Amino acid sequence: MATATARNVDDKDYAALTAMAAANGRSISEELRALIAEAARRRRLEELMAQMREIRERNPFRMPDGKTSLDLLREERDSW
C-alpha cells in the first residue's frame, strides 16, 4: 500500500477532521483513508457517467413514429 503525508494542514481543518473521526468511531488515519477512498469512488463514478453520456449521445434511442414504449413491450410480449 502507498503512504501519503500531508503537511501544513490548517488547524481548523485538522480540528474538523478530528471531530469527524471521533463521530465515526475511527482514528484520524482511518478517517483520512475513508475520505480518500470515497473521493476516488466518486471520481470513478463521474468518469463512468461521462462515458455513458457519450455513448448515449453517439447512439440515441429513437422510438418508431407513433409508438410508445408500452406499444413496443406489447409487441415483444405478443411475439412469443
**What pLDDT, in 10s, does the model give residues 21-35?**
999 999 999 999 999
Q: What is the DSSP string of the chain?
A: -------S--HHHHHHHHHHHHHTT--HHHHHHHHHHHHHHHHHHHHHHHHHHHHHHHS---PPTT--HHHHHHHHHHT-
Sorting pLDDT into bands at 50, 70 and 90, what band is 1? confident
The 10s digit of each residue's pLDDT in 14-68 is 999 999 999 999 999 999 999 999 999 999 999 999 999 999 999 988 888 889 9
67 domain-assigned: yes
- The residue range of the domain holding 73 is 11-78
Q: Please check whether residue 18 lies inside any domain of the structure.
A: yes
Q: Work out how many domains the chain is built from and give that number.
A: 1
Is residue 39 in some structural domain?
Answer: yes
Residue 66 domain-assigned (yes or no) = yes
Residue 4 lies in a domain: no
pLDDT given for residue 60 in this prediction: 87
